Amino acid sequence: MHTKEEKTEFFILLGVFAIEMMIIFAYMFAVSHIPVVAQLFSNILVRSLIMYALMMVPVLLYTVVKGDKFLASFGFKKVRAVTLLLTVLLVVAAYPMIMLANFVSQLFVPNTVVQAVGGMKGVPVVSIALSVAVLAPFAEELVMRGFFANRFRKIIPMAATAILTGFLFGVLHMNLNQFCYAWVIGIIAAYVCIGSGSIYPSMLIHMLFNGFNVWMLFSSVTNMASDENLEAAQDMTGNAAELLPFIGVAAVLSVGSFFLVRFIIRKIAKIEGHLEDISKPKTIALVPNETVLEDFRGLIESNELQNPFEDYKK
């Protein structure tokens, strides 16, 4: 951040995110603690639609106030088919790093997927799939990458943009387990969004990851039909003896995963013509003031500007 306007913009964007969190918290509190609201939004699909619609309000209002075009500012731009194929490969390549964050978090808190198993029995698969694998990626990517990442990138370097928006993406999930791996996903998604110049690849990343989680969830419902099996899965939380082998394997795989992910992201950026956007820090062209130039010329003409090496020449 080089100018006062950019610093102001930075803190305004953080304020918009704070408003997002207040809206989500208030809505979740109402659904959980007010019987009338809970009954009204008992369907998971309806509940998700309302929440994501509310999430969109602050960013849309800000976009309107700024006078920006919606499609352009949020990154709705076509990408090549090969970019989407590389994005699928990227999700596979990134999985060791995501799982490492997941396993490490389970040293302290339970796995949210395992916790959700008990409450998912009897819920239609289609409703959960649409809510988790379609609505969530679409709305959350619009907010976190389409809005925040694209705007932060205009005022801070790419690495800072990815780390910050990834962190905020983790905070958005409001639990430590999801925070840890959502931060990793958020960093990767930010680089892909800026590198491709489009919101579509980051949406695809989110959809694939959440879709896999839905599949894992319903596999867990089948495999953990008994309370004994569910308790056994939950007992892994905080159990270092059981988790450390998984952490060790994921850590080793994550080394290669990091370099492969970096390679794929740069390949995507090169294909889409945005390699400089993720490689070079944000710079500002410094244009000298005309008055300063005139004063400088006057000093030269009056011989008042001395050469610092003149004494050494004598």
297 found inside a domain: yes
252 found inside a domain: yes
255 found inside a domain: yes
Domain that holds residue 95: 66-306
CB of 106 closer than 8 Å to CB of 243: yes
pLDDT value of position 216 = 77
pLDDT value of position 127 = 86
Using alpha carbons, list the distances in angstroms from residue 49 to 42, 55, 60, 135, 310: 12, 10, 16, 7, 74
159 found inside a domain: yes
Query: How many C-beta atoms surround the C-beta of residue 138 within 10 A?
Result: 16
pLDDT value of position 181 = 95
pLDDT value of position 215 = 84
The whole-angstrom distance between residue 270's C-alpha and the CA centroid of its chain comes to 21
58 found inside a domain: no
18 found inside a domain: no
30 found inside a domain: no
Residue 211, classified by CB atoms within 10 Å of its CB into exposed (0-12), middle (13-18) or buried (19+), is: middle
pLDDT value of position 10 = 96
The whole-angstrom distance between residue 83's C-alpha and the CA centroid of its chain comes to 19
Q: What is the pTM of this model?
A: 0.85
How many independent structural domains does the chain possess?
1
Among 188, 217, 204, 192, which residue's Cα sits nearest to residue 101?
188
pLDDT value of position 179 = 96
pLDDT value of position 292 = 45
Please report, as a single letter, which amino acid is at residue 187.
I
32 found inside a domain: no
Name, in order, each residue with C-beta under 8 angstroms of 1's C-beta and a sequence gap of 6 or more. Answer: 7, 10, 155, 156
Among 201, 204, 198, 205, which residue's Cα sits nearest to residue 77?
198
pLDDT by residue for the chain (314 residues), tens only, comes to 678 999 999 999 999 999 999 999 999 999 989 999 888 888 889 999 999 999 999 999 999 999 999 999 999 999 999 999 999 999 999 999 999 999 999 999 888 877 766 666 667 888 888 999 999 999 999 999 999 999 999 999 999 999 999 999 999 999 999 999 999 999 999 999 999 999 999 999 999 999 998 887 777 655 554 555 555 555 566 677 889 999 999 999 999 999 999 999 999 999 999 999 998 665 444 444 455 455 545 555 555 545 544 554 44
CB of 146 closer than 8 Å to CB of 164: no
